[in-house]
Structure formats: structure tokens, C-alpha cells
Chain A
Amino acid sequence: MKRVLIGAAILLVIVSCGQKENVVKLGLVAPLTGDVKTFGESTKNGFTIAVDEANAKGGINGKQIKVYISDDKNDPTEASNAGSKLINQDGVRLLIGSVSSKCSIPLSELCETMGAVMITPTSTNPKVTIRDDGSRKAMVFRACFIDPFQGAVAAKFALDNLKAKTSAILYDVGNDYVKGLAEFYRDNFTKGGGTIVAYESYAKDDADFSAILTKVKKENPDILYVPDYYNKVALIAKQARQLGIKSVMMGGDGWDSPDMIKIAGDAIEGGYFTNHYSPDDPRPEVQEWVKKYSARFGAKPDALATLAYDATSLMIAAATKAGSDDPAKVRDALQSLQLKAVSGSVTFDSSGNPIKSAAILRYTRTGQEYVATVTP
């Protein structure tokens, strides 16, 4: 069995080495299996809509887009292998991926070395585009905020608008997106004069938060900041309300999902979160997007799908602007691009991060409600 597979694999290496088609190759690396498969699926959906749209309009510079998808299981080694396969085996030079920073970082190193352009839709760790020594990875961009920005925005809103004095923070110790937001929120909240009364961590697989929530209840903070993804937040919110915690809950863009109310119910009512955009935003891009996604997938899009759509659109727009799929040219086009994306008007700064404003939204009993916009 092994030998058949090894043989087949070697054959594929040789066969795929010499293909030259008249297409533009676009790759996607996302967690299509594993415990965050649902995020990977959303990402893939957003990506697919963007590609199909572009192809329907004639593709990039007249060439159809050919899609190469690889799964990274939300594991850094797999992400590196998946990316390597797309770049070296399939000859892809334009990549979208991945979802979590721990996968995007090795992917970004690979893209940088091999000269492929990469846009990550949702990885927020600054290290994806900037190395430890401060130098920029020229080929790598992202479509989402970085942690420092969101954390600061949330803290400011809590202090100024919600007039909060005390806050508790719960974060996932093994997830650097959550940890990053928690840290920046904490730093900004304290700098602004507030007090952090509890800073508790949990692990990814935890489902029982009674211990740390009981701790939080004792302190009775004004705000409970839980910057995790909607599934965890829903769980924590429910247990918190069950225990009788009355604090206002706040979070980040991971809260954005049509499933949030489905899972959390009224536990999340009144919770605020920072996001890239609001689905109620009357801007035509947003309304079009929500309609498109619902028509195709039967549900409203969540933040991951939206960002994936934006990232892909950015890549396509850059390639079109550059008039070629040569990675260096696309890269330059991207750096100087300005696009009216769904999640806001996007331009990139020198670190490869998009300069866009953040929206503050609130969950009501039935959906999300727009509250305010914060510009950087």
C-alpha cells in the first residue's frame, strides 16, 4: 500500500513539473479539517465567492483564475507543508492564508523566501508581517487589524463611552490572537485610568469556566472582556449569566458570526465588540456582499468569510492593476492599492497592515446593532 502511494506521489511530482496553462494560479491555505474546521470553511466560502465573481467578469487580465486549495489542519507544520506544496509543487505564487497566526507565520516565512505574495485574511499577530528584528516581510500583507489596534479601541470605548472603571479579562492562553487582544486591552485600559480586577486564562479545550467565572463574579467588574471566537464566547457568556454575573461583556472581531446568537441566545445581549464593519452598514459593498453570501450559502456571512472575501478581492485587484501575475509586480501594486472593500476602505501601511477604521457593534436579542466608528 505504502509503495503504491509513494510511487503515485513521485509520479505526480514528475507530471506536474512541466505544466504551463493559460491561467492565473491563486492558492488558499486554510484549516479545512480539525477543530477549527468551521473557520476554515467560512474562509474558503469567502475566497470562493470572490474567485467565481472575478472569473465571471473575465478573470484577471483576461486569464481565468485557477484555484489551488490545501488544508493545514490548524497545525504550523502542516501549514508549512501545505504552503510548500502549493508553491513548489503547484507553482502558485499568489496565496491567501491562513486563519490562525501560528499557521500564518511559518507560511509567511515560506512565501517571503520563495517570492510569493501572501495576504492573510484573519491573522492578527504583528509577527506575520514584521520579523523579530523589525524588518518587514515585503511579500506579506494582511486584511485584518492587528491586535494592538483592536485592543486599544476596545479599551478606549469601555473607558470613554461606557464609563467603565473596572474590568475583568478572560483569555485563551494557547491562542495568540486572544492573548494579544487581552494584553493590549489590559495595557490600554490601565493606562487610561481603569483597574483590571481579574486577568484569568483558560485552555482551548476547556468547556467549564465556573472556576474563573466565580472568581470574576466576586470582583463584580463593570466590563468582562472576552476577545475570543464566537463559539467560546457564547459558552462563556452563557455560563457567566447563569452564575449571575451582571457585567457588560466586550470582545473583538471574533465575535462576529451569525451563529453567535444561535449559540448564545440572550446571554450575549448587550455585548459590545469591535469589528471591521457592520452588516447593517448601508454601504452598497456591504449590502451586496451579505446578499451574495446568503444566496449562495444560505446564511449571513461571518467575519472570517468577509475578510477572506476582502483578502481575495485585494489580491485580484492588485494583479489586475499590475497587469501581470508576476509576484514582484503584484506585490508593488498591492502596497499602493486603494480598494473599497466590504470591511472598509483599505490601503496598506509600511508594515503590510491595512489602515481602516473599526466599528463598534452591539448584540441585541435578534442581531447586531451598529454603535460607533473609531478611526485610527
Chain B
Amino acid sequence: MSEEPKGREQEAKCDQAAGAGSIPPREDGQASALGRVAPWAITVLAYAVITVLISTRMINPYWQQIIQFALIMAISGLGLNLIYGYTGQFSLGHAAFYGIGAYTSALITKSFPHSGIPMFVLSMFAAVAVVAAVAFLIGMPILRLKSDYLGIATLAFGIIVKVLFDNADRVIPKLGGSRGMLGIPKYTNFTWTFFMALAALLVIRNFVFSSLGRACISIREDEIAAESVGVNTTKYKTLGFVLGCSFAGAAGVLYAHLYSFLHPSNFDFLKSIDVLLIVVLGGLGSMSGTIVAAIGWTFLLEGLRVILPPQILDWRLVIYPLLLIIVMILRPRGLWGGVEFGFLKPSERWTQSSKSTN
């Protein structure tokens, strides 16, 4: 219909970038030993505490499952954050890749049921490889589309994948189709989810603060400008997309081996919207935000289940969207607004890349 009203858009994008992915340097004094050790110490402590609580059954299996699910959503969310928050590619088909990862790994572990953990690890590599390949193949043609159109194309892709899942049992009966795929060995436990989430966080953090990440951010900021200074936008868009989808695939693997049952309805576009919700709520381009939002969102939904008396159980899903609307109106940048935990930010070496200051 017309040209984009560039001024307003540009402003909004700049604001969005502030703090997130633009990389203001940390204050002085971060080079101290304590500053570098503290985050690791806290992480190890958190892990230790939760593991002890689990083994003494203070956290019952219900909450164990919920905590792990929250971490899985965090991994998936980090992937989408990379695609949308950092590279600016609006993808509405994230659940499809999550599903492909889940089904691929489940097929492998189910086919070799007594091979234990090594097979689990193998299946994880295989699943991520398949997801990356699919993301690459579909990304090539559609990543050149502009934001809302890309959203639609990825949404359409997600629906096609779900239809394929529904009919998968015609080709490979083990996959179950709409009958569901059951009997997947339960390999996922808290240790796995925790360390995978940690690994995901480290990967994305290092990616974002590297030159690869900077290229992606520049694409988000202004694709034409990036192209004109020599950034190969196609290459980096594809890279961001493939990497982000791989995270979703990994999350899917963990999910499959936690709930040990897969059904195509787990991977429809409403699930893609759920992940998008988490990323936006946490704040685009904020890793810490995504993790906090993933955990918060999961606990909110389950918390409502626990709190509400049985007569008004069906109000759970009326309260949830109302809260969502209120939060978005009050904090449109997301709860974390593009801020990162201090230890995630890089040290002064990366000073040069600041595009804007807070």
C-alpha cells in the first residue's frame, strides 16, 4: 500500500536495541576475580540446591517436571530470541522445528530401546542435524521476505509440518501420527535440562557478542545499511535462523524424553505463539529476559492451576490472557526491557560496537 513510515519504525527499533545486543561496556572493576567467579558459583550453587531438593523429595515429581519444562521452554525461547530478538527475523513456525527435533530423536531412541544414554546423545546430535538441515532448506527461499510476510511464510510452514506429523504414520508407523507416539524412554532429568540450558545460554551469549552476532544485530537494525557496508545479509540471516531453530530442535529432544509421549497437537501454531510470547515478555534481545520469562510463564500457568479452587478452574485461561494484556500495556518492551544480567555482558574489549547508549 505504501512505504513503511520509516521514521517511527526506526525509532522504535533503536529503542528496542538499547541495552539489548548493543553492547555498552561494563563499568570498571569487573576484571576482578570475584566478579568473574561469582556467576559460576551461583550457577553451581543453584544446581546443587535443586538437585538436593529433588533427591530428598522436597520438590515432588510434579514440580520437577514443571521446572524441567520451564528450562526446555527457555532453551526454545533463546533460539527464537536469536532469530527474532537479535537478527530481526519474525518467525512464527518455531514449534515445527521443536517438533521435528522431538520426533527425530524419539524415533531413534525408540528404535534402539536398550542402548541407553549413548543412544540418547546420538539421537540428540541427529535431531539437531536434521532440524538444522530443514531450517537451512526452508530458510534459503523464505528469509528474503520482509518481516510480516516472513511471519506468514513461517506460520504456513509450521502448519504444513503439523499436517505432515498427523499423517506421518502412513509412512513410518512408529511415528504414530494422530495416534501419538508413546513409549519414548525417559532420559531427560534435571541434570540434562539444566546443563543443556546452561550450554544454550553460553552458546548464544558467545555468538551474540562475537562478530557473527554483531552482523546479525546489524541486520536487525537496518538491513540495507548492513548490506551496504558489506555484511552478507543472506549468509547471516540464514546462520541466525538455522542456529535458532537448532535450539528449538534440542529443546524438542529434551521434551520428548521427558513427557515420553508425542502428539502432533503439541506442535501447532499456538505453541509457536507461546514461545513468541515468552520471548517478547522477557524483552527482545535479552537472554536473561527470555530465561526469566520462560520460568515465570510456566510457573504462572501451573501456579494458577494449583491456586484456583475447582469451581472456577476454567477461569485459569481467562485470567492468563488478561494478565498478558495488562503486562504488555504496562511494559511493552517486555518485563526485562532489554537488560542483561551483568555477568552476561562482555568486558571492555567489546566497547566499540555500542550503537546507542541507554
Contact = CB atoms under 8 A, between A and B. Distances in A.
Given A9-B299, A179-B179, A84 B264 contact: no
A179 B179 CA distance: 9
B313 A71 contact: yes
A247 interface: no
Contacts of A173: 166-167, 178
A215 B312 CA distance: 45
Q: Which of A1, A37, A77, A109 has the most CB of B within 10 A?
A: A77
B314 A32 contact: yes
Contacts of B266: 75-77
B260 A37 contact: no
Interface residues of A, number: 47
Contacts of B332: none
Contact of A71 (B66, B305, B335): B305
A109 B65 CA distance: 14
B-side interface size class: 35 or more
Interface in A209-226: none
Decide if the interface of chain A is mainly helix, strand, loop or mixed: helix
A144 B263 CA distance: 22
B303 A5 contact: yes
B182 interface: yes
A179 B178 CA distance: 8
B62 A87 contact: yes
Contacts, number: 129
Contacts of A180: 179
Contact of B65 (A9, A84, A125): A84
A13 B316 contact: no
Nearest to A178: B178
Contact of A88 (B62, B310, B327, B335): B62
Interface string B294-311: 001001101111110010
A76 B306 contact: no
Interface string A87-123: 1110000000000011001100100001000000000
B183 interface: yes
Given A76-B266, A80-B65, A176 B180 contact: yes
Contacts of A88: 60-63
Interface of A: 1-2, 5-6, 8-9, 12-13, 17, 32-34, 37, 67-71, 73, 75-77, 80-82, 84-85, 87-89, 101-102, 105-106, 109, 114, 125, 127, 131-133, 173-176, 179-180
